[in-house]
């Protein structure tokens, strides 16, 4: 049998990675050696693997710079409408390989590095993930940046340069332990500090109403230092910018008072100001009303809006009038997209600048603000909605509180005029929630202050209109839209699964990478024996590679011919990792009951981080690891069932596990997962989905045919009906013996013999206050899993379904999503034209 090709050899065969011309290779080698030389001249005379990584990163960065400068110059000259994507999270992952892919440099780099006696993949593994996000919302922002650059939009991502991103997760004795993510420790080769664009941000102080307008006085100032990261489009020479702000204390911080007693103390207190950009809040779908978080939200908004207005005024067609109060064209030149309510302060801040600083009259300013801003809702879970205490605003942002009151008053006057006497409607629709603690409902502020509001999957957008913002929908139905999420096929196919990308390119060419609908051309090949064989072979190679990785990193031996059953996402009750646990325990009990029976071997992999303060999520992790400890060491089970908890799940680990998965678990209670994007990545990479009719699963089933997914469980209507009737978990527990057995084992300490009461909290929740109805879907889930096993026994039929799924995944490209935002919300057209590369002189 022929020896399998190494990854390096495989990559060389793949045309989409860029032809490694001799000139390119020589150029890369020369540049690499030059960077390495400068590194070593400065420091030492022996190169470490990290030195090699930085030399390569700087070599690749050199190829970006010319395109970056030219793109920005092109925007300055053409003055297109600019898109500002505001997000408190950008979950970027690693940058080196993505940059090589998008510049078409991968093969040249691979060959050059190989000629120097090094291994490209080994160098890629040295790079830290930029983990400036929690999960879906932050990763969506990253995919959107890639698509906006690929579609040639003049777009900017604006956020915070957290010194510490999402924590690193260690598992110790089966429990999650958090470790600070010091991702900047060795420096970040992709960012460029721009101190010349540093801006002041104000906090606290008091408001004075004077004859010449409103003044916000006696504030504390924090400086916002921008760091720019290039965002390359796919082979179109466009390089956009992600600008992240870092907090800096002004040099006179706490030294302004001429009677400062303790100079040392004052200088040490600079940390207080600089803490604003210290750390990412690690909550996913949960609101924690901390003052530091509100400071972060205002910090990014205030710095960004000054930057946007500076760019608007200095642009060719901006307002050059001496008084500079001509903001009429502002919404024609600026679109601000709010990624959830976290940047909602953009609305009152833009009003403050227009009214207080630029002296625009209120009604005009409000019209401009509404036309400029648009809001994306990401969740319907009540505990995730931002509701800030009015008292916190009074102290931190007194002028913004006044502006919010004024916005709300005009809004309520409008509603009262349309619905006279309907006081309950006024209460429901107010931005201010009355009660023992008065609160500001940021979602209501966003809906009122935006010209477009969108959900992130069709079913979610319907729920938004019919429940969460029902009153607002009745008022302005035209404002509400759907924009189903997508993922970038560059990172989530070409980069992470070159083997699969290659077999697809062989059949349909490479245009699908920027027009994913072309995957439909694979449908006629669903019965092609050779293609079926190729697709199955790629999956097997990916599984072997991932098995080797698990063995090397975690010392766990797994059976690569078993079904890889993968459930990776943040740990949350609504995502129902507990339902998966019950299935695993039931499978274990079936094997123990009848050890001679033929079982389809499975490796169940569950991974994800729990918010540090989320007790139940941490208990779920402990349960998974405890179940694994029992099952993995039971000789009766052998390698028919293994349970692995994937430690420290993050973007770079997703890139390894997703291409190796056979089964993708997307099992949230119907109506709780707004969209999901992991589901799309698995579909694109040849896994089959077991899932509920929730989020984008609904549209995946529609695209591929419901018979090509394993759909089970309650629909949204059933969940609502069950709520009206009253969900009684005990009913299911009493009726289903296998469920009862599994629950009793967890409860009695079968999986925690040294601490029998360990999981009492978990079982108590499942039995008496489970908002997400795990038991109600258990039976359907078990039956559905049996169908999964039945199909897996027939590899050819399984692979045909895989091919159908891949062929129908085109809708779930973020290129499609961004095209819809561009046309339906921002009022711009995606540009096909390429900016000429830097080596071609400009006209």
Task: Give catalytic residues, as residue numbers.
Answer: 378, 569-570, 575, 677, 681
Closest CA to 560 of 573, 551, 572, 552: 551
In which region does residue 18 sit, left (phi positive, over 0), alpha (psi from -120 to 50) or beta (all else)? Answer: left
Strand ranges (E), 143-198: 155-160, 168-172, 175-179, 192-193
In which region does residue 173 sit, left (phi positive, over 0), alpha (psi from -120 to 50) or beta (all else)? Answer: left
- Angle among Cα 840, 156, 133 to the nearest 5 degrees reads 125
Closest CA to 273 of 246, 300, 297: 246
Name, in order, each residue with C-beta under 8 angstroms of 724's C-beta and a sequence gap of 6 or more: none
Asked if 232 and 190 touch (Cβ cutoff 8 Å), the reply is no
Alpha helix (H) residue ranges in 633-736: 651-657, 678-684, 697-704, 716-725, 729-735
Asked if 204 and 217 touch (Cβ cutoff 8 Å), the reply is no
Q: In the beta sheet, which residues pair with residue 241?
A: 156, 230
Closest CA to 230 of 66, 348, 391: 66
- Residue 56's CB is within 10 A of a number of other CB atoms, namely 28
- Residue 36's CB is within 10 A of a number of other CB atoms, namely 19
| HSE-CB of 191 using CA atoms within 13 angstroms | 23
In which region does residue 276 sit, left (phi positive, over 0), alpha (psi from -120 to 50) or beta (all else)? Answer: alpha
Question: For residue 245, which phi and psi values (nearest 5 degrees)?
Answer: -95, 140
Question: For residue 586, which phi and psi values (nearest 5 degrees)?
Answer: -65, -45
Asked if 227 and 421 touch (Cβ cutoff 8 Å), the reply is no
Asked if 536 and 499 touch (Cβ cutoff 8 Å), the reply is no
Asked if 214 and 228 touch (Cβ cutoff 8 Å), the reply is no
Q: In the beta sheet, which residues pair with residue 171?
A: 176
Asked if 203 and 317 touch (Cβ cutoff 8 Å), the reply is no
- Residue 764's CB is within 10 A of a number of other CB atoms, namely 12
Closest CA to 732 of 780, 674, 801: 780
- Residue 211's CB is within 10 A of a number of other CB atoms, namely 4
In angstroms, the CA 751 to CA 174 distance is 12
Closest CA to 554 of 134, 170, 130, 181: 170
For residue 776 the two structure tokens come to: 């109600």
Pairing of the two strands 334-339 and 373-376:
parallel
Give, in order, the Cα–Cα distances in Å from 198 to each of 72, 224, 244, 306, 557.
19, 6, 11, 10, 52
């Amino acid at each position: 049998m022929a020896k399998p090709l190494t990854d390096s050899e495989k990559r060389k065969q793949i045309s989409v990675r860029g032809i490694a011309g001799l000139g390119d290779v020589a150029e890369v080698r020369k540049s690499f050696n030059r960077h390495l030389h400068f590194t070593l001249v400065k420091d030492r005379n022996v190169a470490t693997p990290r030195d090699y990584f930085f030399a390569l990163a700087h070599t690749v960065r050199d190829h970006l710079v010319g395109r970056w400068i030219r793109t920005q110059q092109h925007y300055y000259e053409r003055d297109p409408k600019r898109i500002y994507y505001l997000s408190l999270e950008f979950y970027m992952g690693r940058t080196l390989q993505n940059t090589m892919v998008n510049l078409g440099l991968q093969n040249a780099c691979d060959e050059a590095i190989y000629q120097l006696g090094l291994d490209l993949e080994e160098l890629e593994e040295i790079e830290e993930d930029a983990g400036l996000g929690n999960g879906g919302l932050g990763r969506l922002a990253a995919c959107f940046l890639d698509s906006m650059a690929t579609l040639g939009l003049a777009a900017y991502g604006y956020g915070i340069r957290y010194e510490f991103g999402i924590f690193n997760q260690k598992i110790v004795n089966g429990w999650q332990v958090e470790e600070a993510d010091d991702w900047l420790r060795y420096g970040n080769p992709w960012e460029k500090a721009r101190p010349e664009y540093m801006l002041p941000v104000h906090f606290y102080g008091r408001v004075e109403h004077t004859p010449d307008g409103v003044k916000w006085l006696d504030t504390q100032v924090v400086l916002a230092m921008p760091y720019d990261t290039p965002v390359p489009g796919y082979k179109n020479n466009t390089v956009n910018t992600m600008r992240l702000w870092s907090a800096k204390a002004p040099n006179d911080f706490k030294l302004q008072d001429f009677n400062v007693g303790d100079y040392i103390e004052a200088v040490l207190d600079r940390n207080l100001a600089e803490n604003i950009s210290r750390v990412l809040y690690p909550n996913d779908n949960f609101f924690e009303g901390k003052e530091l978080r509100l400071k972060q939200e205002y910090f990014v908004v205030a710095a960004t809006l000054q930057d946007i207005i500076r760019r608007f005024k200095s642009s060719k067609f901006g307002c050059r009038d001496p008084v500079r109060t001509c903001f009429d064209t502002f919404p024609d030149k600026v679109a601000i997209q709010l990624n959830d309510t976290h940047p909602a302060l953009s609305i009152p801040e833009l009003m403050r600048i227009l009214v207080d600083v630029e002296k625009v009259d209120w009604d005009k300013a409000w019209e401009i603000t509404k036309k400029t801003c648009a809001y994306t809702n990401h969740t319907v879970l009540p505990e995730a909605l931002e509701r800030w205490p009015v008292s916190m605003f009074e102290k931190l942002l007194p002028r913004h509180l006044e502006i919010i009151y004024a916005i709300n008053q005009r809004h309520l006057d409008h509603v009262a005029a349309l619905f006279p006497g309907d006081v309950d409607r006024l209460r429901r629709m107010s931005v201010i929630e009355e009660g023992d603690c008065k609160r500001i409902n940021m979602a209501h502020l966003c809906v009122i202050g935006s010209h477009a509001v969108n959900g992130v999957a069709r079913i979610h957008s319907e729920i938004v209109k019919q429940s969460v913002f029902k009153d607002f929908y009745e008022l302005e139905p035209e404002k509400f839209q759907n924009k189903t999420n997508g993922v970038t096929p560059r990172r989530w196919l070409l980069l992470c699964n070159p083997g699969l990308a290659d077999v697809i390119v062989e059949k349909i060419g490479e245009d699908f990478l920027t027009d994913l609908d072309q995957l439909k051309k694979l449908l006629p090949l669903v019965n092609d024996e050779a293609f079926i064989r190729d697709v199955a072979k790629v999956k097997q190679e990916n599984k072997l590679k991932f098995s080797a990785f698990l063995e090397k990193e975690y010392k766990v031996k797994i059976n690569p011919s078993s079904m890889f059953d993968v459930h990776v996402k943040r740990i949350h009750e609504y995502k129902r990792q507990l339902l998966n646990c019950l299935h695993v325990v039931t499978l274990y009990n079936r094997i123990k009951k009848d050890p001679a029976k033929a079982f389809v071997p499975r490796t169940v992999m569950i991974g994800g981080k729990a918010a540090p303060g989320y007790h139940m999520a941490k208990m779920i992790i402990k349960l998974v690891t405890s179940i694994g400890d029992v099952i993995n060491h039971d000789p009766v089970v052998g390698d028919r069932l293994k349970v692995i908890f994937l430690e420290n799940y993050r973007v770079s680990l997703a890139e390894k596990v997703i291409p190796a998965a056979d089964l993708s678990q997307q099992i949230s209670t119907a109506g709780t997962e707004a969209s999901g994007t992991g589901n799309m990545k698995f579909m694109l990479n040849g896994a089959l989905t077991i899932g509920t009719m929730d989020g984008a699963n609904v549209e995946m089933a529609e695209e591929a045919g419901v018979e090509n997914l394993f759909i089970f469980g309650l629909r949204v209507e059933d969940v609502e009906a069950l709520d009206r009737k009253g969900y009684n978990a005990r009913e299911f527990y009493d009726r289903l013996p296998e469920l009862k057995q599994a629950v009793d084992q967890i409860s009695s300490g079968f999986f925690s013999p040294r601490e029998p009461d360990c999981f009492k909290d978990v079982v108590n929740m499942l039995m008496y206050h489970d908002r997400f109805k795990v038991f109600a879907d258990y039976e359907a889930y078990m039956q559905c899993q049996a169908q999964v096993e039945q199909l897996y026994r027939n590899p050819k039929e399984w692979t045909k379904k895989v091919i159908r799924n891949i062929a129908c995944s085109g809708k779930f490209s973020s290129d499609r999503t961004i095209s819809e935002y561009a046309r339906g919300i921002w009022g711009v057209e995606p540009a096909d034209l390429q900016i000429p590369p830097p080596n071609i002189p400009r006209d």
